[in-house]
């Protein structure tokens, strides 16, 4: 299978933005917790994502919302198994959203080909697991476990002097850790981690300066879907943030993103196709 970095570069060069569809097999994720916990619902969600045009199915069994408790490896595996098996059986490219090396190894052995690491390679063993399996790795920026984050888009304004510059620097160090663990450069994509240890102002500023990540010379994946910072300009409940999600996705692609992690695949794909037809970058 083509490595993620190579896939994203080729796709973006061809004018195609890769969409990673979200499947939270959890009872407590911020936007759809519990909706896909049952095996039949999880399998139906896989089918819906693929039919809507998802290029990758991202399956996770542990919520990353602020204050979410840690989930054991065995529980994560039990939660994601129905969706993972079904997606792989359908021939989908599957990503496992976990920071646990045991879960990652288990998922890769069962057909996943990408590890989506939301910890910024805090545990080098996770990268070593990906390297041993010849899998790809998404390196997402974060400054700690989300269980310790104060709340949604809640962080002191002084946490960053220059959010874009600091995120780039910290992602570079994380990528170096991944490379030292054996992950090849063409198998890596980076994610700025919007909302992860960032308040709304910081996330918006980072999105606006996303092109700063170009100096890393790696494909960029952005996850803005339904996040709380989208309601900064106009307050909206989680289920009412599709407009903000689409706007953030278009802004990300305009600033160089090659992939987007989204819940609502069909509307985002529609917006991207029209945007492209209108002669966007």
Mean pLDDT of 174-181: 98
Residue 163 confidence (pLDDT): 98
With b meaning 16 or more CB within 10 Å and e meaning fewer, what string describes 203-240? bbbbbebbebbeebebbbbbbbbbbbbbbeeeebeeee
Residue 146 has pLDDT above 80, yes or no: no
Mean pLDDT of 124-147: 95
Higher pLDDT, 29 or 2: 2
Residue 11 has pLDDT above 80, yes or no: yes
Higher pLDDT, 163 or 65: 163
pTM metric for this prediction: 0.95
State whether the Cα torsion 200-53-108-15 is positive or negative: negative
H or E segment to which residue 274 belongs? helix 265-277
Residue 260 confidence (pLDDT): 98
Residue 32 confidence (pLDDT): 65
The domain limits of the chain are 4-276
Residue 189 has pLDDT above 70, yes or no: yes
pLDDT tens digits for range 39-83: 999 999 999 999 999 999 999 999 888 888 889 999 999 999 999
Residue 280 has pLDDT above 70, yes or no: no
Topology of domain 4-276, per CATH?
TIM Barrel (3.20.20)
Bridge-based pairing of strands 93-97 and 56-60 is parallel
Question: What is the average pLDDT score of the chain?
Answer: 94
Where are the extended beta strands (E) located within the chain? Answer: 18-24, 56-60, 93-97, 114-117, 136-140, 188-191, 221-222, 259-262
Q: How far apart are CA 13 and CA 84, in angstroms?
A: 29
Residue 147 confidence (pLDDT): 79
Residues recognised as catalytic: 227, 261
The percent of residues in the chain predicted with pLDDT above 70, rounded, is 97
Higher pLDDT, 25 or 19: 19
């Amino acid at each position: 299978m083509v490595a993620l970095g190579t896939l994203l570069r080729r796709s973006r060069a061809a004018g195609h933005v890769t969409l990673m569809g979200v499947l939270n097999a959890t009872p407590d994720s911020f936007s759809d917790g519990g909706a896909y916990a049952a095996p039949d619902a999880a399998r139906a969600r896989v089918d819906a994502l693929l039919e809507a045009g998802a290029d990758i199915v991202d399956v996770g069994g542990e919520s990353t919302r602020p204050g979410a408790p840690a989930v054991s490896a065995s529980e994560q595996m039990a939660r994601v198994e129905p969706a993972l098996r079904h997606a792989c059986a359908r021939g989908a490219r599957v990503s496992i959203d976990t920071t646990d090396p045991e879960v990652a190894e288990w998922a890769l052995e069962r057909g996943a080909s990408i590890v989506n690491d939301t910890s910024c390679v805090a545990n080098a063993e996770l990268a070593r697991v990906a390297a041993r399996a010849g899998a790809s790795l998404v390196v997402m920026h974060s400054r700690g476990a989300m269980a310790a984050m104060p709340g949604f888009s809640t962080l002191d304004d002084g946490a960053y002097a220059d959010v874009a510059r600091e995120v780039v620097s910290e992602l570079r160090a994380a990528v170096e850790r991944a490379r030292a663990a054996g992950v090849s450069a063409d198998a890596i994509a980076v994610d700025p981690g919007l909302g992860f240890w960032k308040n709304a102002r910081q996330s918006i500023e980072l999105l606006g300066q996303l092109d700063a990540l170009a100096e890393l010379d790696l494909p960029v994946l952005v996850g803005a879907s339904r996040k709380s910072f989208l309601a900064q300009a106009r307050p909206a409940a989680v289920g009412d943030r599709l407009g903000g999600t689409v706007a953030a996705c278009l802004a990300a692609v305009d600033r160089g993103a090659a992939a987007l992690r989204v819940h609502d695949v069909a509307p985002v794909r529609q917006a991207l196709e029209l945007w492209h037809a209108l002669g966007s970058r």
